[in-house]
């Protein structure tokens, strides 16, 4: 049963990667000037912003993963170390107490990391899509459709 679930997960992951379309952004100044002409400075500005917001989105995603792992580990450490004082014998368990203290430190760090990661990832994703649409607006596309006869040119403002 586990292998079937794993195979379904891997198939979904691989098919999603194959179907994903990746935008190719130009970085060579000569190609940018040849393709965009007078709009080359705008493209370069948008390109820099796209790079910045991509790193912001990726950093936020990394903080989300770190926050989930850290807060989960902190919760488990608190749960395992919460019985550091044995009520029956009134003995103090130093290892359980150190687990409890480590959990009390890791849980707030994980929650903070998760919160900051969600904010960074959402803002980075929103701004990234905004500037990618602006870059797309600088281009003139041709659309050959079977619904219409002829060639349709589209310019986004």
CA–CA separation, 116 and 59 (whole Å): 10
pLDDT of residue 83: 74
pLDDT of residue 44: 79
pLDDT of residue 82: 78
Residue 110 has what DSSP assignment? H
Contact by Cβ (8 Å): 107, 67: no
pLDDT of residue 144: 53
pLDDT of residue 55: 92
pLDDT of residue 58: 94
pTM: 0.65
CA–CA separation, 48 and 31 (whole Å): 16
Per-residue pLDDT of the chain (157 residues), as tens digits, is 555 565 565 555 454 444 444 455 666 666 665 666 666 777 778 888 888 999 999 999 999 999 999 999 999 988 888 776 666 666 677 788 888 899 999 999 999 999 999 999 999 999 999 988 887 776 654 455 556 565 555 555 5
**Backbone torsions φ then ψ of 18, nearest 5 degrees:** -70, -35
**Pick from 103, 20, 105, 122: nearest CA to 63:** 122
């Amino acid at each position: 049963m586990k292998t079937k679930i794993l195979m379904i997960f891997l198939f979904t992951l691989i098919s999603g990667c194959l179907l994903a379309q990746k935008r190719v952004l130009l970085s060579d100044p000569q190609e940018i000037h040849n393709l965009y002409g007078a709009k080359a400075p705008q493209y370069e500005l948008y390109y820099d912003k796209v790079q910045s917001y991509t790193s912001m989105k990726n950093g936020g995603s990394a903080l989300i993963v770190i926050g989930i792992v850290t807060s989960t580990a902190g919760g488990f450490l608190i749960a395992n170390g919460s019985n550091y004082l044995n009520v029956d014998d009134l003995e103090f368990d130093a290892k359980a107490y150190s687990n409890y203290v480590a959990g009390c430190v890791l849980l707030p760090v994980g929650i903070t990391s998760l919160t900051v990661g969600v904010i960074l990832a959402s803002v980075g994703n929103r701004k990234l899509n905004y500037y990618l649409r602006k870059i797309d607006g600088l281009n003139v596309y041709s659309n050959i459709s079977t619904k219409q006869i002829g060639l349709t040119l589209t310019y986004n403002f």
